[in-house]
Amino acid sequence: MPENFLISVVGPTAIGKTALGIKLAQHFNTEIISADSRQFFREMKIGTAVPEKEELAAAPHHFIQHISVEEEYSVGDFERDAIAKLDELFQRKKVVVMVGGSGLYVKSVIEGLDYFPEVDPHIRANLNNESLENLQRKLANFDPDYYQIVDTENPHRLIRALEICIGTGKPYSSFLNRKKESRNFHSIQVGLTAEREKIYDRINLRVDKMMEAGLLKEASNLFHKRHLNALNTVGYKELFLHLEGKIPQEEAVAEIKKNTRRFAKRQLTWFRKDDAVKWFESTTPPEDIITYAEARIKDSLQ
């Protein structure tokens, strides 16, 4: 059995994953793999809550702001790069920490990606002409289970699921969780959670702080690139509508908060389906979670 351990910190946005990940990395004298797909892009600092300079200096981080919004970077690309980085880190560290709320990206590293059959490319071409509302309605009809956890505001994700549904005649979700890759590490997953109202309060406060930090200016600088898939995300698409003169700034900020709350709900839905996650209240002292991780490591080595 491998003697390497990957400790993954998961949970909804704004719950405190970054701080806990740093505590774990410092305790185990190790480094952090980021599995937050929005933080990959160097132009999107404020709106994706990239760790502050002090946090990045507190423990070595990987896969934060390492590519441009101009680049295509899939979950498959991340799986390949993350596994390569883990192989490198495990040569000198027995424990590595992974932090992130992007469920599919976390899953790709721990288990590998699911297999999906090839389908007629004309299906995707036709779906590309559909409105977001039609895509949402169709997926809710074809695959209500996946509809409950997918980002329904992301047309790329909706189209990907729908082309499989239409091309195979089977729900997209029926192809999930089929493949288990052999990994050279033990996986330990810890999740942070809190009462819904507390999570929502944290999200609202974070959005206010983002606006104070200059999120509107950051969105303005990216406005001419708003057609890119990386920018079709919460925090930017709402401000783009404001910059287009379609909604006032106050409404854009309210929409960011609402859509982020919805995103957090989907994150919790995704991670709570995984029995391997050990849940802790966000107020749990980091020392208690470190004690849990150490016990899991000890048990695995016996």
Q: What is the CATH architecture of 5-113+179-301? A: 3-Layer(aba) Sandwich (3.40)
Q: Does the annotation place 269 within a ligand binding site?
A: no
Q: What is the pTM of this model?
A: 0.87
Residue 144 labeled ligand binder: no
- CB-neighbour burial class of residue 169 (10 A; exposed 0-12, middle 13-18, buried 19+): exposed
Would you state the pLDDT for residue 302?
Answer: 83
**Where in the chain are the domains?**
5-113+179-301, 121-175
What does the DSSP assignment read for 60-82?
A: -EESSS-B-TTS---HHHHHHHH
Q: Which amino acid is at 114?
A: D
Indicate if 121-175 has the same CATH topology as 5-113+179-301. Answer: no
**Would you say 23 is a known binding-site residue?**
no
Distance CA 114, CA 179 (A): 5
Check the annotation: does 13 bind a ligand. yes
* CATH level 3 topology of 121-175: Histone, subunit A (1.10.20)
Judge whether 284 is annotated as a binding position. Answer: no
pLDDT tens series, the chain, 302 aa: 579 999 999 999 999 999 999 999 999 999 999 999 999 999 999 999 999 999 999 999 999 999 999 998 889 899 999 999 999 999 999 999 999 999 999 999 999 988 888 889 899 999 999 999 999 999 999 999 999 989 898 888 999 999 999 999 999 999 887 667 789 999 999 999 999 999 999 999 999 999 999 999 999 999 999 999 899 899 999 999 999 999 999 999 999 999 999 999 999 999 999 999 999 999 999 999 999 999 999 999 88
Whether 15 has a binding-site annotation, put simply, is: yes
16 is in an annotated binding site: yes
Instruction: Give 115-127 as a DSSP string.
Output: P-----HHHHHHH
For residue 14, say whether it is annotated as part of any ligand binding site. yes
pLDDT for 179: 63
Q: Report CA Rg, the chain.
A: 19
